[in-house]
Structure 1
């Protein structure tokens, strides 16, 4: 007879990592009555935590009783004037004492408490493997990105450690790269921007080394979507078992804007506007929680939307102050950065907004295309609802995601694959400007009715749902992971 087992989940701070982590936790406890999960919540000192707090409160009142949440104290550490990679490292290190204390209390709570069966850490939290080792339990990882990126990291770590290749030099290659993760030759310019800086390359190579220490890796993808990338993982030597368990999404959108909040009012206004549009007539532009543009690029986008002839919903965000690591915010008055008269001329066909309830928008039948930064959660959401993507990557692994969607899978049209830089690039390093003509071409191709891409996206949408049902590939993969917990 099975004995109750408890897993400690530790997501990285940030709503996108938190939501997918909690959703996979909910899926696990729904599959096995003997599983209990405690989620340790880290709060970001650099970004607003209002969305995180609202989400946690909604989950506490609606989720299964076998999931509980513990808010960890905020560390007394100065994180100002720090790069993204240095912040991640220092932030996680500073939480080690709090994780150790919380798990100690769990383990000693009562004699009848479930046995501590392991940690499930975020892809950025590898230093917490040390804490799991102190408790004598295994560490598993939840990789919130895709199998292609996981394979790329293992590949780069292998060539760095075994062949002494300097990762940052790959961007200077004049020939395309041949990578096991991809069928097609890979352009060096589409390598994740974070890996093209010495600090970022060293950080992610070390992540990949430590991934090998885990006992299993859950990946938010599914076999039908990334069959080649998943098969290629076997070429990287000894790595832990990989469990594709996606798509892991928060499909209920009722709690993405707390009742009575400004966001709730904004969401109502957006959905009412979409209700007045024809099916598949609106192109939705949204660039993630950290996506924003300078004024020159904003004007090119505006000109493109006017020229395209399509109805649009545009999430336009104000960049943070130069040199400050923070999220974009809503404009007080977006007219100040838009071409003169743009809002008046497009009032009947378009809507410019700030924050967007992305999942609810993609689920709306009026939306026929998505101009996206190609964050992995956004890709999975768009595929789930059968909405084709036009790729406009901005940072992190998004360039690689865009290449995969366009060149590998044929599930997106290209506006750009190599646009953007790292989150902390200087203004001088981010001068790439996409013209209105390039953007118009991408939007028109995206919105073409009956296109082959639209048909392939619809087919993949159906696959993304059936794979989670009993007998589906992700359902079976999650079952194998649960079996591993109780060995």
Structure 2
């Protein structure tokens, strides 16, 4: 029997690549005829991860996957032309489109192979420009949507407002308005809309157009599970103009535990159960000195044990990941380290899954990136929401208001990476959020514990996501049978 191949095109960035690799591994484990080619893009050094970022670089991650299976291969794409060096709201979209020519050449070679039947493209949510290439070959396109169903519904709704009702979405910038969005049960405050859709310099037009093309896909795999977002999933299923949605999550890199820092885990071993609040803000999350001091004051006053991942911001105008401090005392309040030595630990990069899995951790102050959100659910750790950028404000809103699974520190907080400007959140606000988060008898903790069990049931044989993955594979195989 001929081999059946899918071409995966993830967006540039570690978070998107990791979840793409995990869904690829899951798919080939469920069907022995299936093989996958992953086409990766490498961001310029000014935009990508810094050398101090701890997770393995893509080539090492690829080597790990290839050791597990010979049915996933990785090819690095080359851009056609000079990559822009100045950050802009539309940089990622134009950068992705610059790889079309190389994608076309690679796919042409796969099509010529007599032993392989190419069943379609699976593209990242930001890579909808690649639908053009798939169409040239008469191939169907599927989407792997690395965020949640609520956010998917929002972006499709914004496109409808713009294209069918002539609304200028950027008018919601700094507005107190609330929107009725089909994928959310509660009205959505304009203040939590993603910054890019409010950007008047072209980001709004480009992003809404990119996401609007999701409607052209044959199907959309969403990294969520029905039990987590029942209202959003039903709204998408009921919509007449949305392709079939496959809830396949949570898709997580649980094996990242093996890259854990023993010193961090040893420290946690010495702490009482559910006593530690963990602060971590993702691969790009960092704060300037004034905000760092407010966090430190809040932690000290709260009286709770803490593990704090603290990293140095990039200079203004740089888009890369934060770097590591050689000495935390250069940014922490004077005497803080000595006063909190018995109850807290400040670290650089954090082995997040390993930490969240530890029984000593009782709460997670998080930027609410979708991968981090799913990890907190999987590990049963309640969240205090402090979003920074991208769709994180929407995720925070969903966790706090829609699902009742998080407390708020500042749901509408934004950090502009082009200017490094952001409002300073006071120690009083942060301390209040931490105390609510660590309430041992809270209703939120009970909800998160219940969802932890449901997340594991969803991916087990017969669970909602397990069944949905099977339906997706049937659809793919139907393209060539």
**TM-score normalised by the shorter chain: which range applies?**
over 0.9
Counterpart position of 1:43: 42
1:338 to 317, 332, 336: 332
Query: Aligned partners of 1:207 and 1:392: how far apart in 2?
Result: 27
**Contact 2:125–2:211 (8 Å) recurs in 1:** no
**Contact 1:222–1:474 (8 Å) recurs in 2:** yes
Q: How many residues align?
A: 470
Query: Aligned partners of 1:321 and 1:355: how far apart in 2?
Result: 18
Counterpart position of 1:261: none
Alignment of 1:146-161 (within 5 A): 146-161=148-163
**Contact 1:180–1:235 (8 Å) recurs in 2:** no
Secondary structure of the structure 2 residue equivalent to 1:77: coil
Counterpart position of 1:468: 459
Counterpart position of 2:87: 82
Counterpart position of 1:411: 405
1:358 to 352, 355, 378: 352
Alignment of 1:427-446 (within 5 A): 427=420, 429-430=421-422, 432-446=423-437
State the Cα distance separating 1:439 from its structure 2 match: 0.8
Query: Aligned partners of 1:237 and 1:200: how far apart in 2?
Result: 28
Secondary structure of the structure 2 residue equivalent to 1:347: coil
Counterpart position of 2:72: 67
Query: Aligned partners of 1:172 and 1:411: how far apart in 2?
Result: 26
State the Cα distance separating 1:172 from its structure 2 match: 4.7
State the Cα distance separating 1:171 from its structure 2 match: 3.0
Query: Please, which runs of 5 or more residues in structure 1 have no aligned partner?
Result: 258-263
**Contact 1:158–1:236 (8 Å) recurs in 2:** no
Query: Aligned partners of 1:243 and 1:344: how far apart in 2?
Result: 51
Counterpart position of 1:179: 181
State the Cα distance separating 1:19 from its structure 2 match: 0.8
Confirm whether residue 94 of structure 1 aligns to residue 98 of structure 2: yes
Query: Aligned partners of 2:295 and 2:57: how far apart in 1?
Result: 28
**Taking structure 2 as the reference length, what is the TM-score of the superposition?**
0.94
Secondary structure of the structure 2 residue equivalent to 1:17: helix
Query: Aligned partners of 1:51 and 1:3: how far apart in 2?
Result: 33
Query: Aligned partners of 2:363 and 2:427: how far apart in 1?
Result: 18
Moved >6 Å (runs of 4+): none
Counterpart position of 1:397: 391
Query: Please, which runs of 5 or more residues in structure 2 have no aligned partner?
Result: none
Counterpart position of 1:260: none
Secondary structure of the structure 1 residue equivalent to 2:178: coil
Alignment of 1:353-392 (within 5 A): 353-392=347-386
Alignment of 1:33-432 (within 5 A): 33-45=32-44, 46-48=47-49, 51-61=57-67, 63-73=68-78, 76-83=81-88, 85-109=89-113, 111-112=114-115, 114-198=116-200, 199-234=202-237, 236-254=239-257, 257=259, 267-424=261-418, 426-427=419-420, 429-430=421-422, 432=423
Query: Aligned partners of 1:43 and 1:367: how far apart in 2?
Result: 35
Secondary structure of the structure 2 residue equivalent to 1:7: strand
Query: Aligned partners of 1:221 and 1:313: how far apart in 2?
Result: 28
Of 356-365 and 140-149, more deviation after overlay is shown by 356-365
Q: Deviations over 1:129-184 (max 9, x none)?
A: 11111221111000000001100001000010001000011235444222212111
Q: Deviations over 1:389-420 (max 9, x none)?
A: 00001111111110100111011111111111
1:459 to 450, 460, 465: 450
Query: Aligned partners of 1:319 and 1:194: how far apart in 2?
Result: 21
- Cα RMSD between the aligned structures? 1.6
**Taking structure 1 as the reference length, what is the TM-score of the superposition?**
0.93
Q: Deviations over 1:284-310 (max 9, x none)?
A: 000011111111110000000001111
